Amino acid sequence: MSTCATASRLLTEPLAGTAATARTWLMIEQPGPWGSDALVSSHLDAAVGRDLDRATKGTGVRVQLIRRPGRHADCHEPASQRVFVAHTAPGRSWIRTTRIADPAALLELDFAALGAGEHGGLWDAYEGAPLAFVCTNGKRDRCCALLGRPLAAELAASGGTEAWEVTHIGGHRFAPTLLVLPYGYAYGRATAHDVKDALEAARDGRIITRNCRGRSVWDRPGQAAELAVRALTGEEGADALDVTATDGAAPRWTVTVAHRDGRAWRVEVEQGAAEPPRPESCGRALGTPARMDVVAVTPVVAVTPAA
């Protein structure tokens, strides 16, 4: 049995709490081939890629390369490249966009401010449909190419969707995987039907939790806790919930999830190991990747001061 087929059959591993962590995403259009480490092995100047990687470390900004679905001629270099920057915090999500002639100009950005959610009027506000980024980097993981590229192509052909291929958003064993902006929710084991539902919901300010891996603005325990509260309450509002505190350390955390209406829940999350062993990436040796298990969800009772 192929590695991709093996991975596709291991469907018992929970998806919640497996999304890449990033408060802000910087997406740079770069057609042509991508290597395993795309920032330094693509048609993007390798020095610029290394400098962007260094400049964004510790800022909460994650840099990805993107391209339109379809054939990617090795000789094609666009006159200008589309760039998106998106912040994903609840109630403060936004997307700004522009076209650039030289990606080196991005090194002038204030990454600390962007990571904190302050764009300062940078570029133009993006007002189109929610953005779908499907992981397709076959040099990083061949299952992402085999399963992701057909999904991206189908989304692009269906119309009404702003679909892109993206270099690497983690969770290869859940291929095809994708990220939806502006809210920053990631999905795995995606089908075209699932993605269209997720995008339609995002257009209405709602979240579909089916096959959802979590919201990238939070760490893995926070992602799992927020999705557990959504499952308990049926809440679909994208900005209705916030993770206000995470206490503890591996292998156990207590996460506080608050609703904008004043309710709150204390969620106990434990780190376990996915069994049976499975490849964390296509072609890799079998392993037991960490999983986030929610073991308790308790409403927090607000105390009203005595008159």
Q: How confident is the model over 107-164, as pLDDT tens digits?
A: 999 999 999 999 999 999 999 999 999 999 888 778 888 899 999 999 999 877 799 9
pLDDT single digits (tens) 152-194: 999 999 877 799 999 989 888 899 999 999 999 999 999 999 9
The span from the CA of 103 to the CA of 78, in Å, is 12
Res 143: pLDDT? 82
Cα–Cα distances (Å) from 84 to 41, 99, 110, 225, 256, in that order, read 21, 9, 15, 29, 31
Cα–Cα distances (Å) from 283 to 19, 110, 280, 305, in that order, read 21, 38, 9, 59
Contact between 192 and 205 (Cβ < 8 Å)? no
Res 218: pLDDT? 98
Model pTM?
A: 0.91
Amino acid at 179: L
- Please state which of the ranges 11-20, 42-51, 229-238, 295-304 shows the lowest mean pLDDT: 295-304
Res 228: pLDDT? 98
- CA 141 to chain CA centroid, Å, is 17
